Amino acid sequence: MNIRRQFQAHVAQTSPSPIALHIVAAEGCYLIDASGKKYLDLIGGISVCNVGHGVTEVKNAIKKQVDDYTHVMVYGELIQSPQVEYAQLLAAHLPAHLQQVYFTNSGAEAVEGAIKLARRVTERTEIIACNYSYHGSTTGALSLLGDEYWRNAFRPLMPGIWHEAYNSTSLLEAINNKTACIVVETIQAEAGVIAPQKSWMQALKKKCQETGTLLVFDEIQCGFGRTGSLWGFEQFGVSPDILLLGKALGGGMPLGAFISSNEYLNTLTENPVLGHITTFGGHPISCAAGKAAMEYLLKENIIASVNAKGELFTSLLIHPKIKAVRQQGLLIAIELDDANTVLNTLTKCLEKGLFSDWFLFAPHCIRIAPPLTISEEEIKQACSILLSCL
């Protein structure tokens, strides 16, 4: 059987040219293909595998939960201890007003839930998002997505969505008493690792409070230590009214969540009853895996070394073809001349056993987002390969 041909024939394709490595195993910071070749992973499943691949504690949690039970009932109707215990763990590491967790299947579904929640709480319909923001591919999330190239093909989309520049005065000025919520990434990932000014984030919070607008932080890529703190918003001295999580939330299993206050989330329980519902959201196996991964992240104090590891990358990535390196913890963009240079470099990296990628809105940049457990020696190895390929 030619598995590549079967992959192309029967697995729906997302692009004309997928990477199409046939991965058969993953361990630590490495992927292993069917020929036995190892690849040092600089993507981490797009910020999913923050604690690395094949962590024993996560695998054991999954195996135990499989033995106990898998799916038993739609979300919210029965007490399932993996959901309760994980929600409690998250709440213990969040501000006092972010104590109720609504688990979903993915980050995009968390965005959809937040849209409904903001509209319900404020009784308003208009939403502001940012240019070059990424929030998912479902229809509501796509309406928020900040690039017309991806939006236009699927219009008409959800009305009442306004886009403004990230970190801009124009965005602050656009918020008014008709705005239900403003949805922002704490660090713009797909734009090529763009960080806002702390003063702007604080002004954003103030304007939301003045106008009764809910502030929604998308931490789907930035959460769980990726940018050097457990939550990206901790670095700005502000907290959201609704927090969006996904990717690393599930410890390698599919899981998302939108988190807010009990007061706000209880508005979805009546008029109508079951105002927001999901069959598989908060799947017990995903919650067991996510809880084990978060416990491992905290117990091993992995986040404490993230900034130093990111700075090591930056110190080593010096080359005439590198125009800039933007780094927030272990979320890094290496800016080159153009997208073709990036693709050629990534192809050469694959040949030398290094797996990396580009950014959706910054195809002229190489993405660096490895497992947070990557060692200094592995960082030096990765940079050596990257520089040789350049």
Question: What is the strand order of the sheet 30-33 is part of?
Answer: 23-27, 30-33, 38-41, 354-355
Given this model, what pLDDT does residue 9 score? 86
Give the residue from 243, 278, 299 where a domain finishes: 299
pLDDT digits (tens, 9 = 90+) for 79-91: 999 999 999 999 9
Q: What is the DSSP letter of 105?
A: S
Backbone φ and ψ for 334, nearest 5 degrees, come out as -105, 110
Question: What's the CATH code of the domain at 315?
Answer: 3.90.1150.10
Given this model, what pLDDT does residue 20 score? 87
Given this model, what pLDDT does residue 84 score? 98
Q: Are residues 330 and 353 in the same domain?
A: yes
Given this model, what pLDDT does residue 86 score? 98
- Please give the residue range of the domain that contains residue 326: 9-54+302-389
Q: Average pLDDT of the chain?
A: 97
Look-up: residue for tokens 């579904």? 109
Of residues 13 and 132, the one with the higher pLDDT is 132
Given this model, what pLDDT does residue 258 score? 98
Distance CA 215, CA 205 (A): 7
Instruction: Give the number of domains in the chain.
Output: 2
Q: Are residues 150 and 94 in the same domain?
A: yes
Three-state secondary structure string covering 158-217: CCCEEEECCCCHHHHHHCCCCEEEEEEECCECCCCCECCCHHHHHHHHHHHHHHCCEEEE
Structure confidence at residue 110 as a pLDDT band (50, 70, 90): very high
Give the residue from 276, 299, 322 where a domain finishes: 299
**C-beta of residue 136 within 8 angstroms of C-beta of residue 105:** no
Structure confidence at residue 1 as a pLDDT band (50, 70, 90): low
Distance CA 282, CA 280 (A): 6
Residue 321 lies in a domain: yes
Given this model, what pLDDT does residue 15 score? 85
Average pLDDT, integer, range 312-331: 98
Q: Are residues 82 and 125 in the same domain?
A: yes
Q: Are residues 76 and 127 in the same domain?
A: yes
Distance CA 111, CA 106 (A): 9
Given this model, what pLDDT does residue 102 score? 98
Q: Are residues 196 and 94 in the same domain?
A: yes
Cβ-proximal residues to 350 (8 Å cutoff; 6+ apart), any chain = 19, 21, 39
Q: Are residues 112 and 247 in the same domain?
A: yes
Q: Are residues 283 and 356 in the same domain?
A: no
3-state helix, strand, coil split of the chain in percent (to 5) is 40, 20, 40
Q: Are residues 267 and 380 in the same domain?
A: no
Q: Of 80, 73, 70, 46, which is closest to residue 249 (Cα–Cα)?
A: 46
Q: Are residues 187 and 49 in the same domain?
A: no
Give the residue from 275, 299, 323 where a domain finishes: 299
Residue 3 lies in a domain: no
Given this model, what pLDDT does residue 7 score? 86
Distance CA 133, CA 190 (A): 7
Structure confidence at residue 11 as a pLDDT band (50, 70, 90): confident
Does pLDDT of 16 surpass 90? no
Average pLDDT, integer, range 235-258: 98
Cis peptide bond N-terminal to 284, omega within 30:
no
Q: Are residues 108 and 130 in the same domain?
A: yes
Does pLDDT of 41 surpass 90? yes
Look-up: residue for tokens 């490595």? 21
Q: What percent of the chain has pLDDT over 90?
A: 95
Q: Are residues 69 and 44 in the same domain?
A: no
Cis peptide bond N-terminal to 363, omega within 30:
no
Average pLDDT, integer, range 217-231: 98
pLDDT digits (tens, 9 = 90+) for 116-166: 999 999 999 999 999 999 999 999 999 999 999 999 999 999 999 999 999
pLDDT digits (tens, 9 = 90+) for 161-197: 999 999 999 999 999 999 999 999 999 999 999 999 9
Given this model, what pLDDT does residue 4 score? 85
